[in-house]
């Protein structure tokens, strides 16, 4: 696995999950993002040939980010710049190095009423 330096992880993402929370004014349950933790990340760049090889697959509209290794139990959503993404794959680094990193494959959550939906 490629090694990353801590100074390369310059952006901050929120890790958490969605929970139904009742609106106290209307009584309607609304799915709301609940933050469990924060992590610094760097977004991976794909080469042109990698992009072409993903066309027509379920990974075509995904992005990959690298975060420092941590426990992601009960975490299924990542929020980048107020945009919600599902974690479709977690590829942890299982080496015995001091600093290890996880590569998360993210797919944007399409919400009802979005411009695209």
**What are all long-range contacts of 29-33, with beta carbons under 8 Å and residues at least 24 apart?**
33/77, 33/79, 33/84
What CATH number does residue 19 fall under?
Answer: 2.40.10.270
In a domain, residue 15? The reply is yes
Q: How far apart are CA 14 and CA 38, in angstroms?
A: 5
Domain encompassing residue 93 = 6-108
In a domain, residue 21? The reply is yes
Number of alpha helices (DSSP H) and beta strands (DSSP E) in the chain: 1, 6
116 or 58: which leads in pLDDT: 58
Read off the pLDDT of residues 19-61 as tens digits, 9 standing for 90 and up.
988 988 888 988 888 999 999 999 888 777 777 677 777 777 8
Cβ atoms of 87 and 72 closer than 8 Å: yes
Cβ atoms of 21 and 29 closer than 8 Å: yes
In a domain, residue 115? The reply is no
Neighbouring residues of 48: CB distance < 8 A, sequence distance ≥ 6: none
Number of separate domains in the chain: 1
Banded pLDDT at 113 (limits 50, 70, 90): very low
Banded pLDDT at 76 (limits 50, 70, 90): very high
Q: Give the mean model confidence (pLDDT) for residues 3-10.
A: 82
In a domain, residue 97? The reply is yes
Q: What is the pLDDT of residue 5?
A: 79
């Amino acid at each position: 696995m490629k090694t990353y330096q801590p100074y390369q992880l310059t952006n901050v993402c929120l890790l958490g999950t969605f929970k139904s929370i009742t609106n106290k004014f209307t009584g309607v349950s609304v799915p709301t993002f609940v933050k469990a933790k924060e992590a610094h990340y760097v977004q991976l760049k794909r080469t042109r040939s990698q992009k072409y090889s993903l066309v027509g697959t379920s990974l075509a509209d995904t992005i990959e980010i690298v975060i420092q290794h941590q426990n992601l139990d009960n975490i299924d959503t990542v929020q980048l710049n107020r945009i919600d993404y599902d974690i479709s794959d977690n590829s942890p680094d299982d080496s015995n190095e001091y600093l290890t990193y996880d590569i998360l494959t993210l797919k944007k959550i399409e919400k009802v009423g979005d411009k695209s939906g």
